Amino acid sequence: MGAQDSASPRHKWGGDHATPTVKAFHTSIRARIAERFTGTGKRWEEVVFDPAFALGRADYTAVEAELLATGYRFDHSAQISVVENPEKYKAPADAAGPVASGDDHADGDGDGTVVGHGDNALPLDEDVEGVVRFVDTIEKVLDMMGDGVPPDTIAVIEDAGGTLTAPILEDFTGMLCKGGTIRSHLGVLSREFRIPCLMAVELAGVADGDRVRIESSKPPPDTSAEAAKTATTNRARIWKIG
């Protein structure tokens, strides 16, 4: 082993797991592969490219079932996920996490209360204000396509892929997406269309029609490895105005 290898050892599987969910899937799949390989009585080189050795639909279904049996439920992206398989996904009402407590609960002007946080996908010079509209069903999108998107709409969106809201996205004043990251499709679209957007939003105490201000002047989150180690965040705030 060379000096460079010893100075910077790498995890056998390429690094630490991003989340406990990823670790659970990888662990289960590796266990199945190991069990199947042991049963062949052959060398790895003899089976690794054999189609008969590959995991199939039944294996992946079983791996998913193992995770769901722990009580875990997936964060859904597209609306169709929770509609078709409600037993597998968290309901929309449960998707928002708690809002952090502390000094953030009042802004510097004293005219608003922090009701949420998110990762800023499009840093701008100024913050953005608008009216909350929960755009979370196909019917609401169709209504807005026919009647137009109401002025100053800050759309609260479940779908980090952007598929549901794509036809009306460019008419939003801002977007608050409960899932995804700034690298998700909706985050990319926000930069392409120059629409203020917070991703992975935690939101509470906000109703349709409330006026909010998005801290779109906040820098994007620090995604460096060092920040991940220290749990450093750079979350933009969402104020409820009035």
CATH classification of the domain holding 174: 3.50.30.10
pLDDT tens digits along 1-46: 444 444 444 455 556 666 788 888 889 999 999 999 998 999 999 9
Asked if 172 contacts 196 with a C-beta cutoff of 8 angstroms, the reply is no
Residue 90 lies in a domain: no
Segment 36-81, tens digit of pLDDT: 999 899 999 999 899 988 899 999 999 999 999 998 888 776 667 7
Total residue length of the chain: 242
Domain boundary among 72, 89, 120: 72
Summarised one tens digit per residue, pLDDT across range 129-183 is: 999 999 988 899 999 999 999 999 999 998 888 888 999 999 999 999 998 889 9
Residues 46 and 166 in one domain: no
DSSP 58-100: HHHHHHHHHHHHTT--BPP-SHHHHHH-TTTB--GGGSS-PPP
**Residues 133, 209 within the same domain:** yes
Q: What pLDDT score was predicted for residue 10?
A: 47
pLDDT reported for residue 9: 44
Does residue 68 form part of some domain? yes
110 and 215 housed in the same domain: yes
Which one is predicted more confidently, 230 or 216? 216
Instruction: Say if residue 206 is in the same domain as residue 126.
Output: yes
Q: Are residues 216 and 153 in the same domain?
A: yes
Residue position matching structure tokens 């790895």: 44
Q: Which amino acid is at 14?
A: G
Same structural domain, 113 and 231: yes
Number of domains, the chain: 2
At residue 92, the pLDDT reads 63
- Let me know if residue 15 belongs to a domain: yes
Phi–psi pair at 78, nearest 5 degrees: -70, 150
Question: Residue 28 has what pLDDT?
Answer: 92
**Rounded to whole angstroms, how far apart are CA atoms 94 and 75?**
9
pLDDT in the model for residue 224: 61
Containing domain of residue 43, as a range? 3-72
**Is 141 within 8 Å of 135 (Cβ atoms)?**
yes
The pLDDT tens digits for 96-120 are: 444 443 344 344 444 689 999 999 9
Q: In this structure, are 36 and 121 located in the same domain? A: no
Question: Do 226 and 135 share a structural domain?
Answer: yes
**195 in any annotated domain:** yes
Q: Are residues 152 and 196 in the same domain?
A: yes
